[in-house]
């Protein structure tokens, strides 16, 4: 049994429970968006296996670039690899929104935002499963006990939420008639999120600095999300039970 398996299962279960509960509570206590998370689950494996991998390898082969060159890799190819994930992942995450049965859940711009959160979280959970599977297949970390993969748990928990945010951003702009701006915003955020890991892999920054990009993106995402997400208070205020008011 791959040593990462228990932690991968914990990560998937905790992410689904935590961010599913978050989506339920914040979207107005409804399950209709939580259910949409399922649509995002297979998309990470699909985009990695059938899009990113063939495109990356194909371009590398055409250009005659060997993998694993590190800093000797041509700059244009590094930029290409760097943009591969944001460009294709942000695109595939919103594909389910084209399905009529999914699309009818987003009749208002507010609904579109929550649909984006759901699809993104689903994608993030699927990505955790895909990465766990890839790590298990590689056998690279088999010397570590399962509980040593807590870094995987912590990082994925945050990234799942951020996937929800990035897709929500795209859907929020799209619902306001600016899908290209939304897509560029999502791709830009995704690129910023990946920048730390990319620089670390190239040996340009320490691991701690790489983690900083995750923290920065998380804080910015929370600030932006709190500004754009729907507020339900006005409707709810009518259902308040007033026991006492000095104004009466």
Partner 1 sequence: MSDAALSSFRPARSFGWAWLMAIMALVLAPMAPILTQPGVFSGDEAVGAWIAIAVIAPIVMLMLLALVSLPQMRYDLERDALLVSCGRMLRYRVPYAEITDVRRADLTPSLWSSMRMPGLALWTVPYADIGRVRMCATRMAKGILLIEAGGMRYGITPADEQAFVTALMMMLPKRGR
Distances (CA, A) of 130 to 6, 161, 201: 14, 17, 20
Site string for partner 1, 20-49 (x = CB under 8 A): -x---xx--x--------------------
Shortest CB 19 distance to partner 1, Å = 12
Segment interacting with partner 1, rule: CB under 8 A, options 33-41, 63-71, 175-183, 237-245: 237-245
Calpha distance 149→113 (Å, rounded): 33
Q: For the chain, how far is it from start to end, CA to CA, in angstroms? A: 68
Residue length of the chain: 248
Place of tokens 């995450």: 93
Q: Does 65 bind partner 1 (CB under 8 A)?
A: no
Give the DSSP H or E segment for 74: none
Which 99-158 residues touch partner 1, going by CB under 8 A?
A: 145, 147-148, 150-151, 153-154, 157
Residue count, binding to partner 1 (CB under 8 A):
34
Q: Which residues contact 214 (CB under 8 A, 6 or more apart)?
A: 155, 158, 159, 193, 196
Which 189-228 residues touch partner 1, going by CB under 8 A?
A: 208, 222, 225-226
Shortest CB 13 distance to partner 1, Å = 11
Shortest CB 101 distance to partner 1, Å = 28
Shortest CB 247 distance to partner 1, Å = 7
Shortest CB 147 distance to partner 1, Å = 5
- Closer of 105 and 229 to partner 1 (Cβ): 229
Structure tokens belonging to residue 191: 């690129």
Calpha distance 10→152 (Å, rounded): 10
- Closer of 50 and 147 to partner 1 (Cβ): 147
Calpha distance 158→214 (Å, rounded): 8
Angle at which helix 179-201 crosses helix 207-228, to 10 degrees, equals: 160
Calpha distance 52→46 (Å, rounded): 9
Calpha distance 144→6 (Å, rounded): 12
Segment interacting with partner 1, rule: CB under 8 A, options 18-26, 46-54, 112-120, 171-179: 18-26
Q: Does 76 bind partner 1 (CB under 8 A)?
A: no
- Closer of 17 and 69 to partner 1 (Cβ): 17
Where on the chain is the footprint of partner 1 (CB under 8 A)? 14, 21, 25-26, 29, 145, 147-148, 150-151, 153-154, 157, 208, 222, 225-226, 229, 231-234, 236-237, 239-248
């Amino acid at each position: 049994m791959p040593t990462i398996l228990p932690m991968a299962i914990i990560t998937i279960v905790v992410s689904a429970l935590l961010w599913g509960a978050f989506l339920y509570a914040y979207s107005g206590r409804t399950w209709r968006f939580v259910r949409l998370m399922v649509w995002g689950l297979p998309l990470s494996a699909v985009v990695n296996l059938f899009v990113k991998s063939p495109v990356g390898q194909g371009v590398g082969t055409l250009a005659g670039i060997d993998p694993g060159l590190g800093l000797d890799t041509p700059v244009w190819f590094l930029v290409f690899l760097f943009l591969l994930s944001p460009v294709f992942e942000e695109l595939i995450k919103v594909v389910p929104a084209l399905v009529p049965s999914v699309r009818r859940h987003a009749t208002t711009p507010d609904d579109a935002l929550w649909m984006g959160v759901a699809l993104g979280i689903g994608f993030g959970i699927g990505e955790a499963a895909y990465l766990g599977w890839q790590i298990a297949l590689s056998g690279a970390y088999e010397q570590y006990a399962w509980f040593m993969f807590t870094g995987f748990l912590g990082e994925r928990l945050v990234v799942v939420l951020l996937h929800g945010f990035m897709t929500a951003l795209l859907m929020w702009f799209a619902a306001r008639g600016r899908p290209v701006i939304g897509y560029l915003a999502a791709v830009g955020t995704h690129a910023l999120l990946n920048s730390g890991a990319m620089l670390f892999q190239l040996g340009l920054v320490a691991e701690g600095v790489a983690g900083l990009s995750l923290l920065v993106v998380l804080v910015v995402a929370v600030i932006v999300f709190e500004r754009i997400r729907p507020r339900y208070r006005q409707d709810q205020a009518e259902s308040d039970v007033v026991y006492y008011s000095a104004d009466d």
